[in-house]
Amino acid sequence: MLRGMYTAVAGMITQQRKHDTITNNISNINTPGFKQGNAVSRSFPEVLISAMEGRSNATAKRIGRMNTGVLAEEDLSIYLQGDLQETGNPLDIGIVSNILKDTNGNDLPAFDKSGKYVSPEGEKIFQPQAFITVLNDQGERRYSRNGKLTVNEGGELITPEGYRVLGTNGLPVVLRDADGQLIANVKVMGNGQLLDSVNGLPLADDNGDPAALLISRVENPNRMIREGNGVYRINAEDEGGVTAAVMDEQVQLHQGYLERSNVDPTQSVVDMMAAQRAYESNQKMVQFYDKSLEKAVTEVGRV
C-alpha cells in the first residue's frame, strides 16, 4: 500500500515540475529570443516482487515486476528558430540560425523539427546554434538570443540585463566613429560588421581593426545552462564546443528585427491542462491510500 502512495506522490511532484516549466514558457511568450523548455520525465528502475511464505526455509515465489514511480529528470530547451518581428529600432538585432555544416565544412545529418538526429546506433546529435556573446557583471561570458540592445553612457552595446556585448576581438563593443567620438546609432550588416550609420564607413575596435559582433556557435546547445532572462552559460568542460560562428547563409543578422519566442501558446495550454489532470489523478490516489490506511489503523486495529 505504501509503495502505491509513494508512486502517486512521485507522479504529483513530476507533474508539478512539468506545470512549472510550462508556466515559465507561457510567461516568456513575449520575451525576444526565448527558447521554450520541455520537462523530460522518466520512470524509476523496475523491481522484482516476490511472495515469501512464513517458513524460514520457504522459497520465494516470483510475482512479477513493479514500477516505483516517475521523476522529472531534466528540462531541455527546444532551440527552434523563432519568427522575426520587425521593430524599426536600429539597435534591435534578430539572429537567423540554420547551421547544417560542421566546422570543417562537411554536411551535418538531417535534423528533425526539434533539432535532433538519432543515428542507427542510437547516438544523439543536436543541431548547433548561434548566440550573441556577452559579458556579465563578473566579466564572465554568457550567451543570448535576445537582440534588443541599447547603448550605455560609455558607448557600449548592452543587453536588457545590462550585459556588455562582445566584438570579434573579445572586448566589449564601443560605438565610436572615425574621429573617436561616441555615436548612438550604428548600421549592422548581416555578417555582424558595424558601420557608421551616417557615412557608411566601418567602425574600428581598439586595435584599429573593423569592428564586428561576436556571434558564437555552440555545438551542443543542450549542454547550456539557463540563468534566466534568456541568458545561458557554458560549463568549463564544454567550452571546447564553442567557437566563433561563420557568418554566411547559415547564420545571419537582421537589423531592425527581433527574434520572437518559439513558444507555441496553444500547445502550452493543452500541455498545462494535461499536467493538471494527471496531478489531480495522482492526488486522488493519495487520498484513497490515506483513507485505506486510516481504516487499517482505526477499524482493523480495534478488531
pLDDT one-digit tens code per residue, 178-224? 777 888 789 999 999 999 888 888 898 877 888 999 999 999 998 89
C-alpha cell at 183: 555615436
Residue 47's pLDDT band (boundaries 50, 70, 90)?
low
| Residue 115 Rama label (left phi>0; alpha psi -120 to 50; beta) | left
Calculate mean pLDDT across residues 140-150. Answer: 94
Beta bridge partners of 243: 217
C-alpha cell at 228: 534566466
Residue 301 pLDDT greater than 60, yes or no: no
Question: β-strands 93-97, 251-255: how paired?
Answer: antiparallel
Calculate mean pLDDT across residues 249-259. Answer: 94
C-alpha cell at 138: 563578473
Look at 91 and 185; give whichever has higher pLDDT. 91
Residue 5's pLDDT band (boundaries 50, 70, 90)?
confident
- φ/ψ of 174, rounded to 5, equals -115, 125
Calculate mean pLDDT across residues 150-163. Answer: 91
Which of 12, 1, 3 shows the shortest CA–CA distance to 284?
12
Query: For residues 295 and 303, what is the distance between their CA atoms, to the nearest angstrom?
Result: 11
Handedness of CA 216, 189, 187, 91 (dihedral sign): negative
Instruction: Please identify which residue in the block is written with the cell numbers 512479477.
Output: 64
pTM of the predicted protein model: 0.81
Query: For residues 102 and 96, what is the distance between their CA atoms, to the nearest angstrom?
Result: 17
SS3 297: helix
Where do runs of H (alpha helix) occur along the chain? 2-27, 265-295, 301-302
The percentage of residues in the chain with a pLDDT greater than 70, rounded to a whole number, is: 88
pLDDT of residue 200: 84
C-alpha cell at 128: 548547433
Report CA-CA distances (Å) from 53 to 9, 60, 64, 100: 30, 7, 16, 63
